């Protein structure tokens, strides 16, 4: 499943296609959304915001399209002359401008909200701050780590919980814990100040580095690629920090990779 950096890069492509262009066609598959179609014609998309794995498409008439891809949803961009082949996917949303269109397939969690109220959406109320939010600081992450809600939780499960930081996922979890030299069994309340500082910084730096450097899920990248995994999907290979062999196990029902030599 895509994590925060992949969701944000997808949103960047959608923004490039439609932001600040007059909308010539807006179509929703769900009858409850269809009354909004006429009101959106001639409007513009102001921005497409990511909150974890949810996308908020903000329109100039102060409405926002909330969508969550869940397991099967996918956005696609089409340009003039492209042959639109829906294949076996079900079209849910179409937003078109004079020179491009973005289409959402297969998702079922789609709603229209007034922009001023959309952050009251139940999903957005449940999740934590977005890990790619530039306003989020390591000090704020450290404060969340030491809060009553999270301080006694094991890191392996907590880093997958979107209530802690939205946008973190399985590969980011492994890379964060490797960088901070910690194990998934550690709890924030057991850590020293310097360990907490390292963990808080890693939570942000790994995700932001993956986004900024267009990180890849493929370990077999060409030499010189700007981002590559240190432990994720590298079982049996040597840790570049200490030389110990990287191990694969399972934590919170998800594959986990770590170095037994320098983590913990």
For the stretch 172-222, pLDDT in tens is 999 999 999 999 999 999 999 999 999 999 999 999 999 988 654 444 444
The percent of residues in the chain predicted with pLDDT above 70, rounded, is 94
Q: Where are the domains of the chain?
A: 4-126, 138-258
Q: What is the reported pTM?
A: 0.87
**184 catalytic residue (yes or no):** no
Do you know the residue count of the chain? 264
What's the confidence (pLDDT) of residue 222?
40
Q: Which of 21, 44, 248, 254 is catalytic?
A: 254
The radius of gyration of the chain from alpha carbons, rounded to an integer in Å, stands at 20
The answer to whether the beta carbons of residues 127 and 162 sit under 8 Å apart is yes
Ramachandran area for residue 253 (φ above 0: left; ψ -120 to 50: alpha; else beta): left
**53 catalytic residue (yes or no):** yes
What's the confidence (pLDDT) of residue 1?
62
What is the C-alpha to C-alpha distance for residues 251 and 263, in angstroms, rounded to an integer? 15
Q: What are φ and ψ of residue 207, in 5° steps?
A: -65, -40
The answer to whether the beta carbons of residues 260 and 164 sit under 8 Å apart is no
Q: Which residue has the tokens 């994720």?
A: 232
What's the confidence (pLDDT) of residue 264?
73
What's the confidence (pLDDT) of residue 220?
45
Reply yes or no on whether the pLDDT at 82 is more than 90: no
Residue 102: strand pairing partners = 77, 95
Q: Which fold has domain 138-258?
A: Helicase, Ruva Protein; domain 3 (1.10.8)
255-263 contact pairs (CB < 8 A, 24+): 255/170, 256/156, 256/170, 256/173, 256/174, 256/184, 257/174, 257/231, 257/232, 257/233, 258/174, 258/177, 258/178, 258/183, 258/184, 258/231, 259/178, 259/231, 262/181, 263/177, 263/178, 263/181, 263/182, 263/183
What number of other Cβ atoms are within 10 A of residue 196's Cβ?
Answer: 20
Q: Which of 6, 49, 51, 53 is catalytic?
A: 53
**21 catalytic residue (yes or no):** no
**122 catalytic residue (yes or no):** no
Reply yes or no on whether the pLDDT at 70 is more than 90: no
What is the distance of C-alpha 230 from the center of its chain? 20
What's the confidence (pLDDT) of residue 228?
82
Question: What superfamily does domain 4-126 belong to in CATH?
Answer: MutM-like, N-terminal (3.20.190.10)
Reply yes or no on whether the pLDDT at 85 is more than 90: no
What is the C-alpha to C-alpha distance for residues 22 and 46, in angstroms, rounded to an integer? 11
For the stretch 113-163, pLDDT in tens is 999 999 999 999 999 999 999 999 999 999 999 999 999 999 999 999 999
């Amino acid at each position: 499943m895509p994590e925060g950096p992949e969701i944000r890069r997808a949103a960047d492509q959608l923004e490039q296609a439609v932001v600040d262009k007059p909308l010539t066609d807006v179509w929703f598959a769900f009858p409850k959304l269809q009354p909004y179609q006429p009101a959106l014609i001639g409007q513009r998309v102001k921005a497409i915001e990511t909150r974890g794995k949810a996308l908020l498409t903000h329109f100039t008439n102060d409405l926002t399209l909330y969508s969550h891809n869940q397991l099967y949803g996918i956005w696609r961009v089409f340009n003039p002359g492209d042959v639109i082949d829906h294949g076996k996917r079900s079209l849910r949303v179409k937003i078109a401008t004079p020179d491009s269109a973005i289409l959402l397939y297969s998702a079922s969690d789609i709603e229209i909200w007034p922009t001023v109220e959309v952050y009251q959406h139940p999903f957005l109320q449940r999740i934590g701050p977005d890990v790619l939010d530039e306003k989020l600081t390591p000090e704020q992450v450290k404060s969340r780590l030491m809060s009553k809600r999270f301080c006694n939780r094991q890191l392996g499960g907590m880093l997958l919980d979107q209530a802690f930081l939205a946008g973190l996922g399985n590969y980011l979890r492994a890379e964060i814990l490797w960088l901070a030299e910690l194990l998934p069994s550690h709890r924030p309340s057991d850590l020293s100040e310097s360990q907490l500082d390292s963990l808080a910084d890693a939570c942000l730096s790994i995700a932001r580095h993956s986004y900024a450097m267009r990180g890849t899920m493929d370990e077999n990248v060409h030499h010189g690629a700007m981002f590559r995994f240190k432990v994720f999907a590298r079982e049996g290979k040597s840790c570049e920090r200490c030389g110990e062999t990287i191990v694969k196990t399972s934590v919170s029902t998800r594959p986990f990779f770590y170095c037994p030599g320098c983590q913990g």
